[in-house]
Amino acid sequence: MKNNIYDNYCEITFDSKSENEGFARVVAASFCTGLDPTLEEISDIKTAVSEAVTNAIVHGYNNGPGEISMKCMILDGIFTVIVHDDGVGIDNIHRAMEPLFTTKPEMERSGMGFSFMEAFMDELKVESAKNKGTTITMKKRIGAQV
């Protein structure tokens, strides 16, 4: 995809492996540095990205092989990140987003992933359907306090 719209754009695909969770956080955080984010804003973005990518690995691909894509863009001070997996998808999105709801308590998932994404970003959109993969879109204004 050619970028004619955004101030800056990047697209990354990587293996669905837990060791890439930290990698995805670094990519997103480092992509934002041009916006001169505060430490708190970086931390918020890292948390939200970590939750979305971990969910793709743990739930989407059930800890098996797969490919995750992440798009980052910046437009007028707003950072957007889209995390996508082609995994099992979410049956009931409304229920999935309830605080503390998890389908993997045996893996010590706390069910707080979506709550954190909502708490730390300005906008959260979840698109998914059974066996259709999952796309998480999150936005956050950077440097809003100025």
CA distance 31 to 23: 12
Give the bridge partners for 140, in sequence order. 79
Q: Specify whether the backbone of 140 is left (phi greater than 0), alpha (psi in -120 to 50) or beta.
A: beta
Stretch in the footprint of another protein (CB under 8 A) among 5-13, 36-44, 64-72, 138-146 = 36-44
Residue type at position 2: K
Window 28 to 87, contacts with ligand ADP (CB under 6 A): 51, 55-56, 59-60, 85, 87
User: Dihedral sign, CA of 16, 87, 123, 80?
Assistant: positive
Residue closer to ligand ADP (CB basis): 37 or 133: 133
Q: Which does 8 bind (CB under 5 to 8 A by kind): another protein, ligand ADP, its own copies, none?
A: its own copies
- Cα–Cα separations (whole angstroms), residue 21 to 2, 14, 91: 26, 10, 24
How far apart, in whole angstroms, are the C-alpha atoms of residue 51 and residue 59? 11
116 or 142, CB closer to ligand ADP? 116
Q: Which does 59 bind (CB under 5 to 8 A by kind): ligand ADP, another protein, its own copies, none?
A: ligand ADP
Residues that bind ligand ADP (CB under 6 A): 51, 55-56, 59-60, 85, 87-90, 96, 101-104, 109-114, 134
Q: Give the residue numbers marked as catalytic.
A: 51, 55, 109
